[in-house]
Structure 1
Amino acid sequence: MLVRLLYASRAVDASPEAIEAILSQSRQHNTSCGITGILCYGGGVFLQAIEGGRAAINELYAHIVADSRHKDVQLLHYEEISERRFGGWTMGQVNLTKVHASILLRYSERPVLDPYVVSGKVSMALLEELMATASIVGRS
């Protein structure tokens, strides 16, 4: 059974090197576990959607919650799915500093990423928009 999980967290270290280390580790691990997804970050906040088998996703989420590189981890949405939305990515990446503010304003009161103040559905709609506008890099 396939599931999709969406969560938010705050970076303990939001340096480019730390972000790259998280992405690199995700890509290596996720491929072998059949996990796909997308990671947005901006202003020290992560918004991540991950998809795969239920056991693999639950195990990965438990690891993220315990990961010292993340704090304030919050589950935004969890659902069973019939097909993957992010199947082409082991871990796609969006750097919100390169996204036009008008896209963020469609889904939030201010042009910043703050999934803590919007619903999981709104956060997923933002990810869909970022896919539609080709704002995602790191397809692998």
Structure 2
Amino acid sequence: MLVRLMYASRATAGLSDGDFAAILKASREHNPAEGITGLLCFSDGVFVQVLEGGRDAINARYKRIVEDRRHEAVTLLGYEEIAERDFPGWTMGQVNLQRLNHALLLKYSETGRLDPYAMSGAAMAALFREMCASGAIEVA
């Protein structure tokens, strides 16, 4: 059974750009073997990630994220059974906020700043779908 999970977390102090690149690289290397696809955004010290795949694989990955010392304030934004993936070809896509139209953030949030803690899970999911459609995603 396929599921989609979305969460937000804050990076612990001292997380560098190199650390983020290593997280993204590891995801892209390990996700295919686990059947996981998804999308990752990192902005102003906040992670937002969507993971898709089998229920057991997604649950195990989320458990590792919650226990990972590089994350704090891990908050589940959404979890649902799905008939098909939104990101089937991406071992892990990355949101490029420089390509993102500021008006798109304003459409779904109170300010022009990405703050998943102040948005509903449904609004965050809709924003991710529009990011994909607008070409704001980088895929390795």
TM normalised by structure 2 equals: 0.95
Aligned residues: 139
Deviation at 1:104, TM superposition (A): 0.8
Cα distance in 2, alignment partners of residues 95 and 14 from structure 1: 18
Q: Is the 8 A contact 1:10 1:73 kept in 2?
A: yes
Q: For residues 26-62 of structure 1, what are the alpha-carbon distances to aligned partners after superposition, in whole Å with 9 as ceiling and x for unaligned?
A: 1111111000000011111111000000000000000
Q: Is the 8 A contact 1:11 1:44 kept in 2?
A: yes
- Alignment-derived partner of residue 47 in structure 2: 46
Amino acid at match of 1:82: A
Cα distance in 2, alignment partners of residues 45 and 104 from structure 1: 15
Return 5+ residue gaps in structure 2 as ranges.
none
Deviation at 1:98, TM superposition (A): 4.0
Cα distance in 2, alignment partners of residues 54 and 88 from structure 1: 18
Q: Is the 8 A contact 1:107 1:122 kept in 2?
A: yes
Amino acid at match of 1:85: D
- Alignment-derived partner of residue 4 in structure 1: 4
Q: Which runs of 4+ in 1 moved over 4 A?
A: none
Tell me the SS of whatever aligns to 2:48. Answer: strand
TM normalised by structure 1 equals: 0.95
